[in-house]
Structure 1
Amino acid sequence: MASPMKRRLLLISNSTLHGSGYLDHCQDNIKNFLGSKIERVLFIPYALADRDGYAAVARKKFESLGYKLDSIHEQPNAVDAANNAQAIFVGGGNTFRLLKTLYDEKLVPIINRRVLQDGVPYIGSSAGTNVATASINTTNDMPIVYPPSFTALQLVPFNINPHYLDADPNSKHMGETREKRIMEFHEEEDSKPVLALREGCMLLVEGDTSVLQGKTKARLFQKGKEPTEHDIGSDFTFLL
């Protein structure tokens, strides 16, 4: 991995929290993260099929926060757009579709370089958070398309599971819990730690430091260890 000293990431579990609108629950975090020097944000809507509709929703929100939004699918050249971006926001949807398109458009090395070497701020939500990590092996999504690799942008050296759900002790569902699925991942060799983000929380990464933000706790899974609970404000720098 390239030097992470300039790395700035805001990795959000979910775009919409129950009872609120699109990005409402994290809009203050986004404003604090982007600050006043950023004027335009490049939006990557590849996780959804309706890119025009998705861009309209994202544009309305970011403009309400004081930022112009340009959707990459509206630009003449995706690589040029990424190379010129002041900040990047990758929205949620299907993680397999998103990563496949990033590879198809030859954006994986470009975004990696812009974030890790140039210090371009990166915001991810749900699938956009999944692709910021080491791999998409811990996504909740169905493989509706097949990317050339599960290796993701590698902006951080671990995995994340967004929308993490705790097992319901009153449920009669007999299938695997989210916890069980993550433990299956750790049965494989060289599997990474998995930070399970419940809806309403997010991870802020600034260079070589990382802290949990938001409204809910996170759960950390490490191979060979019992899962651990972490409150808002917890320091996850050790994962970097």
Structure 2
Amino acid sequence: MAQRSIFLLSSSRVHGFVFLEHAKELLIDFLSKRNVKTVLFVPYAQKDHTKYTELVEKTLSPWGYKVEGLHAKPNPIQAVLQAEAIFIGGGNTFVLLKALYDQNLISIIRERVLQKGIPYIGSSAGTNVATLSIHTTNDMPVAFPPTFDALRLVPFNINPHYLEPDASTRHKGETRDERILEFIDYHKLPVLGLREGTALLVEGDKATLVGDRKAKLFVPDKEPVEFAPNADLSFLLNKV
């Protein structure tokens, strides 16, 4: 069994940077170490697959990578089986997961990443579907996948675009923390809150927080804990 190589971004866009620019050096290092030349991009989370793929191609091409859109492939399963690396972009998580099930790609992607060690990059919705389930997405359920169970590339959930409560706000509605804790009350599973500008790098049995901001870990029956950049989060890989 090959070692898994997974790079999970909170988001593709960060204030002050163009698309994916904030993670450029990390992504190039991730792909170059694995001798990747061509990236298979999965644009299913957004409505215009061609436009989304062109954006990714425009970004990665100057970095030295060829981009192929999965939507343009006559046989998506075969395309995944032949992929050097898989990148699933952001958008609506429910739409994305439904499309992956509709195309019968869940087990194929999982096997390629976990058994064959094919590099996987996820951003936002693409990060959500890499986890146990999409219960902790921030998106509206505009589509209905057959289940919320996702790719299960890592044995916990992630909340991308995590925002801590604002103590100065007059808003009295439910906070992001309260919503995550509600999920934990029912499912008893850890949730990693990834702030924008951060990502989780998984190499084999090692998981490292990368980026320039902290991440917040929510676990059952304990107070949430903040982790600084470059923190070792490998213990999360042993949860399930």
Cα shift readout 1:152-185 (whole Å, capped 9, x = no counterpart): 0000000000000011111111211100000000
Q: Any idea what SS the aligned residue of 2:113 has? A: helix
List runs of 5+ in structure 2 lacking aligned partners. none
TM-score (norm 2): 0.97
Distance 1:225 1:15 in 2: 31
TM-score (norm 1): 0.97
Match of 1:155 in 2: 153
Question: Are residues 1:202 and 2:199 paired?
Answer: yes
Q: Any idea what SS the aligned residue of 1:187 has? A: helix
Match of 1:61 in 2: 59
Alignment of 1:1-240 (within 5 A): 6-35=3-32, 37-189=35-187, 191-240=188-237
Distance 1:27 1:102 in 2: 27
How many angstroms does 1:57 deviate by?
A: 0.2
Cα shift readout 1:176-217 (whole Å, capped 9, x = no counterpart): 11000000001104x310010000000000011100001110
Q: Any idea what SS the aligned residue of 2:160 has? A: strand
Would you identify which runs of 4 or more consecutive aligned residues in structure 1 move more than 6 Å? none
CA RMSD of aligned residues (A): 0.9
Letter of the 1:143 partner, please give it.
P
List runs of 5+ in structure 1 lacking aligned partners. none
Letter of the 1:107 partner, please give it.
L
Task: Give the number of aligned pairs.
Answer: 236
Distance 1:172 1:235 in 2: 36
How many angstroms does 1:81 deviate by?
A: 0.6
Letter of the 2:151 partner, please give it.
L
Cα shift readout 1:57-92 (whole Å, capped 9, x = no counterpart): 001111011100000001111101101000000000
Q: Any idea what SS the aligned residue of 2:16 has? A: coil
